[in-house]
Structure 1
Amino acid sequence: MGASLSRLTEGDEGPNSIRTGLGDIPESCVASVFMYLSPPEICKLARVNRAFRGAASADFVWESKLPSNYRELWQTLFSECPENLTKQEIYALLCRPVPFDGGSKEVWLEKTTGAVCLTISSRAMSITGIDDRRYWNWIPTDESRFHGVAYLQQIWWFEVDGEVEFCFPEGAYSLFFRVHLGKASKKLGRRVCNFEHIHGWDIKPVRFHLSTSDGQNASRDCYLEESNKNGSEWNKPYSRGAWLKCHVGDFRVNSSDSPTKIKYSMTQIDCTHTKGGLCVDSVFIVPVNLSERRKACSLLERGR
């Protein structure tokens, strides 16, 4: 393979030979091959020569990488149709997180696959008792892409609800809550966590739930801290001091012609005990194959 590529690049050395190289491959042929490559691979190969660079900027190559409903997505975010932009420029702009709905939501394309990802701030959710500072406080933090989280000190009735209506491309999606046990801050430039208010999450599990406008439902019970219950049927608890990626469930979008409404919730409404010491940051919706391949780590552990 290497020898063949070398001969193709350098050409034959015979006296009557016609020197050929990668630059002699028709640009249209290179572009046709690029349609089967990922965007990062296309960008790397664009540096090979002028023909590859021209093929890498072809509109039909980048249109194959964009989601099928990219025009509707663009109008949702920017209002105007991208008439004067190339498809490559549209792809590059959509790969950057774009805030909308008053800055309470962000959407972007995952660079490698072009998959649509969405995140929703806790400020766009309905939180029981959020207006009473005896229970909840809004605290600023640079660990959130929304620069602030809802922090629970103590409450009996814990309920966080939200909904979003969005025109997702066809495919399967996973929904996660991003939360944190304890309150993180910085002292002398170092990250420290205060676990003072954490209690009650080991007594009963938290119920996660989602439903869609076309009748899909998913539920999950999970302890946020180690439980004394042996042989628990519920999922493994999480650890203190780190952002938790709580998988609520999966749903499928069968048509991108109309928006899908998703309702989601995180509740622990057993009033026999109080619970506290929890930060609620946001909800993430990402394609299932992306969450499985990366386990959502690189995407969800980044605050911004």
Structure 2
Amino acid sequence: MGAGVSSMVGPEAEAIGLGDLPEACVAAVLCHLDPPAICGVARLNRAFRGAASADFVWEPKLPGNFSYLLEKIASQEPVRKGISKKEIFARLCRPNPFDGDSKLLWLDKRHGGLCLSISSKALSITGIDDRRYWTHIPTDESRHGTVAYLQQIWWLEVEGELEFWFPEGDYNVFFRLQLGRTSRRLGRRVCHSNDVHGWEAKPVQFQLAGGVPLCYYLREPGSWVLYRAGGFTASGKAGRLAFSMRQIDCTHTKGGLSLDSILICPANLKPPVNGRCLTQQ
């Protein structure tokens, strides 16, 4: 009798595998995974690959304002109509320029959080039009391909503002700076720090409009550092954000500073930085 039951059940049981699961059931499970994991299991078989492309799997991974983000980047590179939610997520995960290439936006691939970078060319910098003080230097160490380099100045003041719709949540704002100017020599990175001076006398003040100023001494020539200017809470609708960096003590000059960009990212994400990140709460 036992042999008879085994012969009836055994072959059928062996024939059942992951590929026999209904695609809708697989998709329901995939909704609970993060995007990299979804892409990983999509390689298992045809059923998983089909389920991993379902719109209802990817729509929760997108920020609530994804249509607004697509409109923002469409002026630089048109977005094809009728694309799937998976394709939208993939498109938004790469750096997308907008506002005349002066800004970039992208989504964190794991959590879907919105990050934004503002080029130094989009900032209001005292003396930027006078080449005795500032110059724009091309570099492959910036997402924007260029940085503003300060040779020497008495009055340091950098300001910027942004009108944007951020998804609901808490965000941090950073200035990406480096003491010294880097270049490539025989394929190796070289930092020129001859112009670096004056930063040890007094700290630089970073601030969001209406927020408490945060002060840091600029150190470590040759290393890119993110200096936190403050944080804000987005309510899920368009708003205005203003930020500044100042060192206006005219008792001494300062120089040798590379200003790359402003970085805005969710507070629960570790900022993408090749160097250090300095914060004060």
TM-score by length of 2: 0.90
Aligned AA (2:143): R
| Number of positions where the alignment pairs a residue of Structure 1 with one of Structure 2 | 265
Find the partner of 1:268 among 225, 247, 255. 247
Contact 1:82 1:90 in 2 (8 A): no
Deviation at 1:139, TM superposition (A): 1.1
**Which letter does structure 2 place at the counterpart of 1:245?**
L
Distance in 2 separating the partners of 1:69 and 1:144? 27
Residue of structure 1 in register with 2:63 after alignment: 67
> Which whole-Å deviations, capped at 9, do the CAs of 1:187-234 have from their partners, x for residues lacking one?
1221111111111111100000012xxxx5242011113xxxxxxxxx
In structure 2, C-alpha distance between the alignment counterparts of 1:160 and 1:283, rounded to whole Å: 11
> Structure 2 counterpart of 1:73, which letter?
L
Identical positions, percent: 55
Q: 2 CA distance for matches of 1:261 and 1:150?
A: 24
Gaps of 5+ in 2: 276-281
Counterpart Cα distance in 1 of 2:6 and 2:154:
86
Which residue is 2:233 aligned to? 252
Structure 1 equivalent of residue 7 of structure 2 = 15
CA offsets, 1:73-101, max 9 Å, x none? 11121167764101111111111111010
Deviation of 1:38 (Å): 0.5
Quote how far apart the aligned CAs of 1:30 are: 1.3
Structure 2 counterpart of 1:130:
128
In the alignment, the residues of structure 2 paired with residue 54 and residue 66 of structure 1 have an alpha-carbon distance, to the nearest angstrom, of 19
Q: Deviations over 1:80-136 (max 9, x none)?
A: 776410111111111111101010000011111111110000000000011111111
Deviation at 1:21, TM superposition (A): 1.5
Task: State the alpha-carbon separation in 1 of the partners of residues 186 and 65 from structure 2.
Answer: 47
Paired with 1:83 and 1:129, the residues of 2 have a C-alpha distance of 44
Measure how far apart 1:27 and its partner are: 1.3
Q: Which amino acid aligns with 2:43?
A: R
- Over the aligned positions, Cα root-mean-square deviation in angstroms equals 1.6
Does the CA contact (< 8 Å) of 1:96 and 1:108 recur in 2? yes
Are 1:45 and 2:41 an aligned pair? yes
Query: 8 Å contact 1:128–1:160 — kept in the other structure?
Result: yes
Counterpart pick for 1:277 among 243, 250, 256: 256
Residue identity matched to 1:222: Y
Give the conservation status (yes or no) of the 8 Å contact 1:170–1:252.
Answer: yes
CA 1:158/1:54 → structure 2, altered by over 3 Å: closer, same or farther? same
Question: Corresponding residue for 2:185?
Answer: 187
Give, in whole Å, the separation in 2 of the partners of 1:82 and 1:186.
39
2:244 and 2:98 map into 1 onto residues whose CA distance is 22
SS in 1 for 2:101: coil
